Chains A and B, each alone.
Chain A
Amino acid sequence: MHIMEGYLPASHAIAWGAVSAPFVLYGAHRITKLVREKPEVKLLLGASGAFVFVLSALKIPSVTGSCSHPTGTGLSSVLFGPTVTAVLGTIVLLFQALLLAHGGITTLGANVFSMAIVGPFVAYFLYRSITKAGFGLSIAVFFAACLGDIATYVTTALQLSIAFPDPVGGVGGAAVKFLGIFAFTQIPLAISEGLLTVVVVNLLQKYSRKELSLLNILSPKAA
Chain B
Amino acid sequence: MNKNVVMILAVVALAILPLVLHHGGDAEFSGADGQAEELITEIQPDYEPWFTAIWEPPSGEIESLLFALQAALGAGLVGFYFGRRSATPKNQEPDAHPLAAKHAQH
Contacts and interface: CB of A to CB of B under 8 A. Distances in A.
Contacts of B82: 47, 203, 207
B32 A199 contact: no
A58 interface: yes
Interface of A: 1-7, 9-10, 43-44, 46-47, 49-68, 95-102, 104-106, 156, 160, 164-167, 174, 177-178, 181-182, 185-186, 188-189, 191-192, 195-196, 198-200, 202-203, 206-210, 213-214, 220, 223
B21 A54 contact: no
Interface in B34-63: 35-37, 39-40, 43-44, 47, 49-57, 63
B49 A5 contact: yes
Contacts, number: 192
Interface residues of B, number: 64
B43 A174 contact: yes
B49 A4 contact: yes
A101 B98 contact: no
Interface in B75-100: 75-78, 80-82, 84-86, 88, 95-96, 98-100
Contacts of A156: 36
A51 B67 contact: no
B51 A207 contact: no
